[in-house]
Amino acid sequence: MGKFIKVVLGVLLAIIVLIGFMVIRTVISADNKSVAHTDVTPPDVTPQLIDVDADALAQNLAKAIQFKTVTMQNHEDTDWPVFLELQTWLAQTYPNFHNAVQSQQIKTYAQLHIWQGSDPSLAPIVFLAHQDVVPASEEENSGWDYPPFDGIIADGFIYGRGAVDDKGSLISILEAADRLAASGFTPKRTLMFGFGHDEEVKGTGAQAIAELLKTRGIKPYAVIDEGGAIISGLPGTQSPVAMIGVAEKGYLTLILKAKATGGHSSAPPSYTAIGALSKAIVAIENAPFESGLDIVSTKMLKAMMVDQSFGKRLAISNLWWFKPLVEDSLRSTPSSNAILGTTIAPTIIDAGFKENALPRDATAYVNFRIHNRDSIASVTAHVRKAINDPNIEITMSDNIGSEPSPISQIDAGPYLWLKDVISQSFPNTIIAPNTVIGGTDSRYFSIVTSDIYRFAPYAIDVSDLSRFHGLNERISVEAYAKAVQVYYLMLEKAGE
């Protein structure tokens, strides 16, 4: 009996020590918020930002929205001349910028502007934005509060397709660069500006710009593109969070085609095209890819935990013990689940032409956003194995296909420059790395650099995220003016 008591006491002591160790780690992480945690910007920073006329800036963005630079899936369906009209307006509106740079048209409609630095030994920084936008219904009862291409300013917001994605970035970069050029500033480091024309479909403009840089032997210090922002209202977080996209998921669409004999529906065979295709889709969804925290999502959680409850800090501070629990929690919502692994999304099904006739073939499109632990080849092999039906033809869509990006430096190199700009501009903001689950033009630039950062200095609410590519896309006049000021600071520091 005495021996049993000793064993029990030993176990209890071990548990107490373990709990104490976990609590100490959690307390240290909390102390870091005010003492040494570099992922939270100081509350007493006085930003050194230029003065701007917010209303005048809003008017220019509203005007840019009125150019209907909508790209369609079929190249011939796009109104390409309107892109040249937009570019003419940009040259007239931002003359100081255009006088300071050397400009080149790429694939007719994309643009590369080079602001030559005084020190050719310094690798350039490339700023990206795209001119095109996704379609938006202009029907009277479409759900838009204001017509999507009228560029209406109302209730303190600029409304319209592209207000954020991505004319907001395009115009705010030009507003900042034009003012910087007018000040007489001469960059020490060369600044490049790549403005693609078809990011929303294939991104061939950005791809051509990246290939041109490669042929010239240019290896940028960093590439800056859309993808992250400063988001308020994230669940469990009181402070705004500046999300810097240090990685981007790959993109793949596989086309599944099932073939059968067809015939009259009154005497169906045991193997039908639609039935086989349905089973194939179910088989894929029932064979999910490996899922879990990686270096980016782990660092993101640790940066954000300073604003979390004690229980969440306890779990994140001790992932060696609570990792499965944290991962399960993240899997509870589609948006957080998406950062953990490759996602599967059947998006299009095409089959049949008459209700009493069996189709001879059925086709489905399944979209995958590829995590950096996977690849196009491994995803395709995974799908073939899951379906396990030689009668299902599997091909890759020729629309877009891209591997997951390399992971850029975190807390080193260009990341520190971005953190410095954010710290000066947005006090009391958490700064966290993240993986961008959508696609950007920057995916093509991994051929010239692995330091790609997807961040635009927009202060937005989490509720506005659904407006991108959706109804009532907008940005507040105040947030847009702040973005211009921050881009000015970002360009100035980049040039130094």
The set of catalytic residues is: 132, 199
Task: Collect all residues with Cβ–Cβ distance below 8 Å to 1 and sequence separation of at least 6.
Answer: none
For the record, the structure tokens of 24 come out as: 């100490």
Nearest to 162 by CA among 53, 233, 71: 71
- Relative to beta strand 250-259, strand 392-396 is antiparallel
Between strands 357-358 and 263-264, the pairing is antiparallel
**Residue 410 carries which side chain, given as an amino acid letter?**
I
288-308 exposure pattern, b = at least 16 Cβ within 10 A, e = fewer: ebebbbbebbbbbbbbbbbbb
3-state secondary structure 243-298: EEEEEECEEEEEEEEEECCCEECCCCCCCCHHHHHHHHHHHHHCCCCCECCCHHHH
Write down the residue that tokens 């919502």 correspond to. Answer: 333
> How far, in Å, are 84, 181, 283 from residue 71 at the CA level?
14, 31, 34
Q: Residues in the chain, how many?
A: 496
Q: Hey, which residues does 432 pair with through a beta bridge?
A: 243
* 3-state class percentages of the chain: helix first, strand second, coil last, to nearest 5: 40, 20, 40
Place of tokens 């995916």: 443
Alpha-carbon gap, residue 39 to 306, rounded angstroms: 9
